[in-house]
Structure 1
Amino acid sequence: MGIRVTIISPQEGSVAGGEPIAMSGTGFPPDVIVTIGGKPLTDLQVINSTVISGITPPGTPGEYNILIDSPSIDFTVFAGKFLYPTPFPPTITAITPNRGPLTGGQIATIAGKGFIPGVSVVIGDVEADVTAMTPTHITFTTPQHTEGAKFVVVRNVDRKVGFLDGGYTYVDVEFPPEDLNLDGVVNLFDLVLVASQFGQTGGTLSGDVNGDGTVNLFDLVRVASHFGEEAVGAAPPAIDWAVNQAVFQRARHALAELETMTERSPGVEMAIDFLRAWLAKPLVTETKLLPNYPNPFNPETWIPYQLATDAEVQVRIYDIKGALVRQLGIGHQKAGYYVNRDRAAYWDGCTD
């Protein structure tokens, strides 16, 4: 008979760990190993083949798999889920862009804090598709909805929620197909989206404007040829690009392809000029913390920084006596600049 788990108690606990947990079931071997999110229980005791107990390991907020293994079995058993709840509810500080088409499909970012794996986003009672998240940022695709301002709700798996009334507005305008980021105008940002994916293949690439499965010169020319086309009533662009070496290399390749064209429309010429200027921006060569703003502040402030390489980011805040008052767990971030309010570290002025 194989291992079978029927009861786990409790199924959530402190991120500090050190709390008792017990499981009931059948078939537990004497050499059983139990992990939560890859971390083993300590003081593990096999009472008998139907009951095991131990002490939870420390963790970070989120929901994690409980797995059972042992040297005497050749497979891993999924026992259930364990939740490390957040001490505070999530907070929404900004949504970029904060308006878009009724048809949805716009990629947007929520900035804030307290987001944990498994987080969901609801816009005006319709759930959005979350595609990526860190403790301070959520990337999602807007759902279809009716015209007007809608509330935005962020819900963690521990049932704590953050709310922003009127956080996203649906506008009844037709966006040009070359306006890839749906910010209301075909411009440099759309060109960089294509350039940053240049040479990639796949069916879901936003830079594949003509839908042939590859981001190539045809997509660059199509966007460049429609430079300046606008969706009346749409919001102005508000994008802070995270620049890294891979994006630069693809963008340089894209520029080289455009420069080989002997007959160029005004739009293509403008696109070449924009790409040259954008690529002239220096890459981040030094990882450092930048001055917070506003300063002085009451009660909140943003803490910008830049990363020379991909890294796990944690910001520690000390008082004038050198005592640690707050730790901000940002999570894994790609190399680049994090200076705008929707990307910088946010501190609400509270202490741990």
Structure 2
Amino acid sequence: MDPERSIQFYDEWDYFFYSHAVSRIVYDLGDQNYTKFDAHFDMPNPCGSIASVELICLADDVEIYNSGVWRGNQARNTHISFDIPENAQTLTINVTDAGDGDGCDHFIFANARLLHREPSVIEVDNNYSDVNNDGFVNIVDLVIVASRYGEKITGNPHPNPDVNRDGIVDIDDILLITQDMPPVNGAPSLLNTQRSILNSADWQKAYAILSNTVVDRGVAVLNLLFGAAVPTKTLLLENSPNPFNPETWIPYHLGKPADVVITIHTVDGQVVRHLDLGYRNAGSYVSRSSAAYWDGKNALGEPVVSGLYFYTLTAGEFAATRRMLIRK
């Protein structure tokens, strides 16, 4: 079974992972108050009507979604979306072979994500979210505020990270910024999830305008505030910048310690470069000082040609692939 059979859908997907029925995927929801699961499911089988799968999803061991049996080409880039009960602690997704026992039941989950409930709006008399007064509320403003978290502010300095003007830079100021930021990758408009913020290509803008030290400190503070200093699951995030020339950074989260390798390959599967990152502890590797770095060269030190490439993160039993574009 070859994931290249799904190549016609690659332009629609930001990321995907590839596995085989029988498989079980377990999300630790904790106290994150997720409200919905959303994904695309694809079964790129070469076996015609022989192949079959069934998705059974449980919240705290109670069934909340059942796809019924999909056979043959019925499950091609199928959109899946269902509600998660309030206060659920675990979400389990079981992918079965529907009893056929055949070896054709490989599948792809693409753009799988958990959505949060939207928080209450914080009211403030005046809007000072555009901290640097450039006419936009974006990741630059968020980084400025996060990098000065906990400071007491007197007067009206420029830039002023005390968004609500209560004399101290705290979580309320950060939430006010995220309320006014445009939606990122489909995240809720009131409070963009930390994953979506870190996924935003605007990080490149932050590094272009602010010093690396300021951005790295802002990233660290955001990780701590959003409870992701030690993530509960492993994720491969979007490289930044993307498109790029000639270098890029590849951020990721590790839910548990693992040996980490990133493999960069062409559309036809030819390996261009292995980035062996060695053993890494659980944590968020999203800033330029901690994310994986690729200089746009192959294993021989030669610059690669412009075009579409894929990068795969392997960490223990976890593997995920995303795409990137070199534009010269």
TM-score > 0.5, shorter chain as reference? no
Higher RCO structure, 1 or 2 (CA under 8 Å, sep 6+) = 2
Greater share of residues in helix: 2
User: What TM-score, normalized to structure 1?
Assistant: 0.27
Q: Which has the larger radius of gyration?
A: 1
